[in-house]
Amino acid sequence: MLITDQGELGRALEHHISIVWPDAECRVHSPLRAGRLPSAFSAIGYDAVVLDDRCDAGRGELWLANLLHRPDFPPVLYLGPADAELARRVLEQGAIDCLVRERIDHRRFAAVLRDAVQRRRQELALLRTQARAEELARFGNVTILGHRCIRRLASGGTSQVYLAESERAGELVVLKVLRETGDQDGDQERSQALWARFLQEYELISGIRHPNVVRIHDLGIADDHAYLAMEYFARGDLRTRLARRLEPAQALHYLEQMASALEAVHGVGVLHRDLKPGNVMLRNDDSLALIDFGLAKRTDLTIEMTGAGEIFGTPYYMSPEQGHGKPLDARSDLYSLGIVFFEMLTGRKPYQAATPMNVIYLHANAPLPVLQDELAVYQPLLDRLIAKEPEARFGSATELLDAIAALRARHGAA
């Protein structure tokens, strides 16, 4: 891992490393763009870290102290100016060496990293033979080697969700572990259906490479339980941001990103069918990603009620045709996107009622919501997104993206 905000330095370091290890994989982390490394991150998947003194506006020494206090963290090679006092300080903290950044001695650089990598791999090999390694890889009653459990995030009816660190991905991931095994005793038909749906979620999105669609890192089976490792979003979901309305320009920017994601998803023949703020995640660079394709490509959507009146399949964002069990196409997802857009602009949902069925009724029969004052410029866009009849909506996410571009062209930074 290379920690630097200087793109040119990052490329030079990658070149130095490729001379020593032609097949080496380097990840460049820029603190100013990507933020701090999560506190639970221990870089278990890396052989060594090269840290630039200038990173994070000159806070390299603070980064060094933070990283070296993390358990099982790899050796850190420090790069700084020609400063004997600096070199003394960072070596005392625990850096394996301190090299002059402006004139890196390639032989010394290579020798230091070779020695560090050799020791690191020996230490990891020893760690994997200890009982602690298996304890770290326990997710409930399932052991998933190559992943370190950090904490449980959620527990659902069909799966457990954990925050984990993946050696293979070299970063924190969200790990979904299916509760049931493929040959579960009892209702075998139900068990197999859950497996099929779980695997479908992976198959639907693993082939999509798009910045606004969640990244899937791994799919596997451990102790007869299927698991799925996907991108982790430290900032949480859009639902949290909607505690207050967004600035119009920000809402339009988010709308554009979600439309771009749907363009990619629809392009491979997939409907999301559950687009809502809770399924839109935020990255540190303020980009968005769609998650949770568990309802995608299903031919029906049943609304289940609990004793407390909670529902699955949130009707607040359902198109009229989805709420009434009619056939769906891409325009249903665009309707849901329009409802999210209204909520981003106003801080409230357009249709609210005491019961889920009444909300569904309002989607099909209530007048279209009206945007007031400075938001009125977005009314034509909103009207075409959430028209009652699919024929009156945008025909595709591509059409929506064209309309957003045209709106910007007419109104500047709007």
Enumerate the active-site residues: 274
The helix/strand count (H/E) of the chain reads as 15, 16
Closest to 104 in 3D by CA, of 211, 174, 12: 12
In terms of Cβ atoms closer than 10 Å to its own Cβ (0-12, 13-18, 19+), residue 9 is buried
- Among the listed residues 174, 373, 382, 199, the one whose alpha carbon sits nearest the alpha carbon of residue 279: 174
Q: Is the dihedral of CA 393, 399, 405, 406 positive or negative?
A: negative
What pairing do the DSSP bridges indicate for beta strands 2-3 and 28-29? parallel
Distance CA 391, CA 401 (A): 18
Amino acid found at 189? E
User: Do 285 and 33 touch, CB atoms closer than 8 A?
Assistant: yes
Residue 400 CA to residue 402 CA, distance in Å, equals 5
Candidates 26, 30, 74; CA nearest to 52 is: 30
Distance CA(169)–CA(161), nearest Å, equals: 17
What is the distance, to the nearest Å, from the Cα of residue 177 to the centroid of all Cα atoms in its chain?
Answer: 17
The C-alpha atoms of residue 233 and residue 90 are separated, in whole angstroms, by 32
- Give the contacts of 340 (CB within 8 A, at least 6 positions apart): 238, 255, 258, 275, 276, 277, 280, 317
Q: Do residues 176 and 70 touch, judged by C-beta distance below 8 A? A: no
Strands 288-290 and 280-282: antiparallel
Q: Write the DSSP assignment of 56-82 as a string of letters.
A: HHH-HHHHHHHHHTSTTPPPEEEEE-S
**Which of 61, 126, 120, 124 lies closest to 89 in space, CA to CA?**
61
Angle at 298 between CA 297 and CA 304, to 5 degrees: 140
